[in-house]
């Protein structure tokens, strides 16, 4: 639940562009305050759920990948961050190509981090990942944030909330959502 000093960023279609801009600016201010992470679901992909049978992490062609719209979405998100002078302390990503590509298109680089790997069809690892994510949050200092690109199933397991492709939540050190939204796309 969002507290008094926190906010929700709703899609521009619901609020109108002026209100959406205010929410985006508030999200930027929350990221600037630091001690938080942006849990970002990868950008839009080609159709489907999960990955095709027999997919391999070392072969992007065997996975569900970003669509043209998803690549544009990731680039636009990168511009959103640059235009606000926001630079993550670290950009961590799931090993899945759609996450790595989202991170690279937005920020230019990423580092793989196993706790962000998809747990789709393997919910039993989620409790272990929760503690690793909390430990990661505890290391983020004031005035800094990290960008973590991952999957809907992971975000839901950690926060209890679902996000659409390309959307994100900002979580504080306790793993509580303090902001939610997109990046003006």
Give the model confidence (pLDDT) of 6-58 as tens digits.
333 333 333 333 334 445 677 898 999 999 999 999 999 987 777 778 888 88
What are the φ/ψ torsions at residue 43 (nearest 5 degrees)? Answer: -65, 175
pLDDT at position 3 is 40
Structure tokens, 170: 């900002």
How much of the chain, in percent, has pLDDT values that exceed 90? Answer: 64
Chain position carrying tokens 């997109």 = 182
Residue 176 to residue 168: CA distance in whole angstroms? 13
**Burial of 152 per CB tally in 10 Å (0-12, 13-18, 19+):** middle
Q: How confident is the model at residue 129 (pLDDT cuts 50, 70, 90)?
A: confident
> CA-CA distance, 180 to 26, in Å (whole number)?
10
Q: Which CATH class is domain 12-45+62-120+135-181?
A: alpha beta
Q: What is the per-residue pLDDT across 153-171, written as a single tens digit (0 to 9) for each?
A: 999 999 999 999 999 999 9
- Token pair in block for residue 50: 């999960």
Q: Are 62 and 91 in contact (CB under 8 A)?
A: no
Residue pointed to by tokens 């201010």: 29
Cβ 9 vs Cβ 23: under 8 Å: yes
Residue 182: what pLDDT? 85
> What is d(CA 185, CA 175) in angstroms, rounded to the nearest whole number?
25
Model confidence, pTM: 0.84
Residue 94 three-state SS: coil
Percent residues over pLDDT 70 in the chain: 83
* Sequence spans of domains, the chain: 12-45+62-120+135-181
């Amino acid at each position: 639940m969002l507290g008094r000093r926190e906010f929700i960023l709703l899609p521009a279609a619901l609020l109108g562009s002026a209100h959406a801009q205010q929410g985006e600016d508030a999200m930027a201010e929350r990221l600037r305050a630091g001690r938080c992470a942006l849990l970002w679901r990868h950008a839009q992909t080609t159709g489907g759920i999960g990955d095709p049978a027999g997919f391999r992490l070392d072969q992007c062609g065997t996975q569900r990948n970003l669509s043209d719209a998803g690549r544009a979405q990731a680039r636009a998100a990168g511009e959103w961050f640059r235009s606000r002078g926001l630079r993550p302390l670290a950009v961590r990503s799931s090993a899945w190509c759609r996450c790595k590509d989202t991170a690279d298109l937005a920020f230019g680089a990423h580092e793989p981090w196993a706790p962000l790997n998809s747990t789709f069809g393997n919910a039993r690892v989620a409790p272990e990942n929760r503690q690793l994510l909390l430990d990661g949050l505890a290391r983020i200092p004031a005035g800094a944030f990290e960008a973590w690109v991952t999957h809907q199933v992971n975000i839901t397991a950690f926060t209890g909330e679902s996000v659409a492709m390309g959307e994100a939540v900002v979580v504080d050190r306790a793993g509580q959502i303090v902001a939610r939204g997109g990046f003006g796309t």
